[in-house]
Structure 1
Amino acid sequence: MQSKIKGRFRFDWQQNIVFIAFAFVFIFFAITLYKDGFLSVFNIANIFRQTAIISVMAIGMTFVISAGEIDLSVGSITALSALSTALVLDAGLGIIIALIVGLATGMFFGVVNGFFVSQIGIPSFLVTLGMMGTIRGTAMWLTDTKPIPILNDTYNFWFGSGNIGLIPILFFWMILIGLIGYVVYNKTTFGRHTLAVGGNEKAAKYTGVKTSLIKFKVMALSGLMAGLAGMLYAGRMQSGRYTFGEGDELSVIAAVILGGTSLFGGMGTIIGTLVGALLMGVINNGLIIAGLDVSQQMIIRGLIIILAVALGKKK
């Protein structure tokens, strides 16, 4: 009887490593950077602003990695979606058209990625690596590397720079997308099939799962989420720039893997992804407040990504 109770309440340290790491890092910075304002309301709100956009991309990436694929083009898609949204607003076509164009930009490149992966059979790593440069180059060419300002205050408020009380509007976007992602991932046939494809593609195919269609859908979803992230970038920065999202693909992948999604597919968690994104946001914020220069921040973030991959392999 006693052994049964022990088994029932046994704490799985590995399964909950992201929560432990988040608590440790947050407490560490709270103590060491207390006098520098780490715990101030302004700084906590800033962490959510920095984290929300990564979180949105990470939700889409969770589906991709769970299916045994990868998407390196999300940062570039984010930049082009931000620019296309800014261009529509600058032309005076209104918020609704801007939203459609921004999301359609992300979805289009997600569909292109999905086509090459699922129908042509090119590994997702190679497809999205090539698309990463192609899309970034398109963003640079489209605007001649110039930023496009967004002067629509309504758009800027609801898609990035606004606050409801003390809470940034981006926090609500993060929660909304997180809830939708959780339901789709855990409560729908699409979510179950995504995990089945990542866990054992051949077995999933024999049981009737349309594996090619699932791969197509997860790549398209990733593009859509990157498109939304680009729109939020544009609202937060009140402009569109080709530099948006540079390096974000690494932070997104690290957040997903740290959150408990297996790098090799078949296992994942949306809540863990959100906590993983928050962990990355807290680390970035703490390093900046601590006064580390850009090169030192890059070294530490690189080590975190290596750790994330190691944890994913162990699982």
Structure 2
Amino acid sequence: MNATSTANPPASKTDSRLKGLDWRRYVIYIGFVVVFILFAVILGDRGFLSSNNLLNIFRQTATITVIAVGMTYVIACAEIDLSVGSVAGLSSVCSAMAISQWGLLPGIAAGLGVGLAVGAINGALVSLLSIPSFLVTLGMLGIAAGVAQWITASAPQPILNETFNMIFGSGNLGPIPGLLFWSLAFVIIGAIVMSRTKFGRQVVATGGNRTAAEFTGINTKKIKFQVLLISGAAAGIAGMLYAGRLQSGRFQWGEGDELSAIAAVILGGTSLFGGHGRVVGTLVGALLIGLINNGLILAGLESSQQQVVRGAIIILAVALARKK
């Protein structure tokens, strides 16, 4: 009797912990492992597990990761930014054109300045005029894409500056792609700021309950402006990463990245409805999308079929979104 009575409580505690565990928080990690194993088995003879292919996945997802880290702050604040893809394209062509005219530093300043300028405009319209971020950034998506195509006459802008290309995408540190360091730097800084700083707590509070946040003294309009500014800056840097990796600026770079970034953020555990943000989860979400894209290419699927799968991922992301 005594042995039974002493054995039951630990078992009941374990059961209660398992029942209380929110498995949705770990779906992205489980999904990543399952998809990786599936592709490894099916596509192992097509070079999926080769070191070059695995490094290519990191290269291809680096820009999405950078954009998605900025998007994590926006969505955690219960806003949205649909302009990031076209901003990346505009940033790439502005960097390329500035480099050809004035050199390296003006080119970097131009690319970053585009992201900051667009982010500031988005933030001002949302925070000061109270226009929904969906409408503001949807309009900005068209404006940025149109400007990028207009100023280049739809022609690619080559980048011949080897230093720029090495820093923003083409360079490696030993066998490790430089793009991997860019994405890890954004994730580490983004995760620390989100979880360890006053600003990160204010972003989550604003997204969770704006009225309650204002009662505690948080300037929610300022927070909304700042998260959209961060998102614009991240998109600007992502555009330069596109330009450096592909050694040219084109208005098409970043096209559709807003959907991939949103899917990565939501799959990573950030609440679509605000009030919760997980930057590390965003990294895994971006890698999962890159993993799927890579596997579909190796499997021989056409681009149209890849778009269907990508759309299904976005629907799955919304279905799994955590409601607070």
TM range (shorter): over 0.9
Separation in structure 1 between the aligned mates of residue 14 and residue 316 of structure 2, nearest angstrom: 33
Q: For 1:126 and 1:141, how far apart are their aligned partners in 2?
A: 23
Aligned ranges 1:289-304 → 2 under 5 Å: 289-304=298-313
State whether residues 272 and 323 of structure 2, in contact with CA within 8 Å, keep that contact through their aligned partners in structure 1.
Answer: no
SS in structure 2 opposite 1:15? Answer: helix
Residue 95 of structure 1, CA deviation: 1.8
Deviation at 1:12, TM superposition (A): 3.4
Equivalent position SS for 2:23 = coil
Determine the structure 2 residue equivalent to 1:24: 34
Aligned match for 1:142, one of 151, 156, 176 = 151
Q: CA deviation at 1:6?
A: 4.7
* Residues 1:277 and 2:272 aligned together: no
Which portions of structure 1, spanning 4 or more consecutive aligned residues, are displaced by more than 2 angstroms?
3-12
Correspondence for 1:33: 43
- Structure 2 counterpart of 1:254: 263
Q: Which residue of 2 aligns with 1:63?
A: 73
Report the residue type matching 1:105 in the other structure.
V
**Are 1:236 and 2:245 an aligned pair?**
yes
Provide TM-score, normalisation by structure 1: 0.97
Give 1:8 deviation, angstroms: 5.2
1:176 and 2:185 matched: yes
Give the secondary-structure state (helix, strand or coil) at the position aligned to 2:128. Answer: helix
**Separation in 2 of the partners of 1:314 and 1:305?**
16
Q: 1:74 aligned to 2:84?
A: yes
Q: Which residue of 1 aligns with 2:110?
A: 101
Structure 1: segments with no counterpart, 5+ residues: none
**What's the CA shift for 1:172?**
0.6
How many angstroms does 1:237 deviate by? 0.5
Aligned counterpart, 1:245: 254
Structure 1, 246-255 or 5-14: larger mean CA deviation: 5-14
Amino acid across the alignment from 1:216: F
Displacement, 1:153?
1.1
How far apart, CA to CA, are the structure 2 residues paired with 1:179 and 1:268? 14
The 2-side partners of 1:183 and 1:194 are apart by: 13
Q: Is the 8 A contact 2:76 2:204 kept in 1?
A: yes
User: Aligned pair 1:158/2:167, yes or no?
Assistant: yes
In structure 1, give the amino acid aligned to 2:98: V
Counterpart selection for 1:217 from 226, 229, 236? 226
Query: 1:154: Cα distance to partner?
Result: 1.4
Rg (Cα) greater in structure: 2
Partner of 1:49: 59
Secondary structure of the corresponding residue to residue 105 of structure 2: helix
Following TM superposition, by how much is the alpha carbon of 1:94 offset from its aligned partner in structure 2, in angstroms? 2.5
Structure 1 vs Structure 2: percent identity of aligned residues?
56
- Of the structure 1 ranges 294-303 and 2-11, higher mean CA displacement relative to structure 2 is found in 2-11
**Paired position in structure 2 for 1:88:** 98
Aligned residues: 314
Tell me how far apart the structure 1 counterparts of residues 297 and 238 of structure 2 sit (CA, whole Å). Answer: 23
Shift in Å, 1:13: 1.8
**Deviations for 1:8-58, whole angstroms, at most 9, x for unmatched residues?**
577532111000010011110011000000010110010001111000000
Gaps of at least 5 residues in structure 2 are 1-8
Taking the aligned partners of 1:239 and 1:177, their CA distance within structure 2 comes to: 23
1:118 is the counterpart of 2:118? no
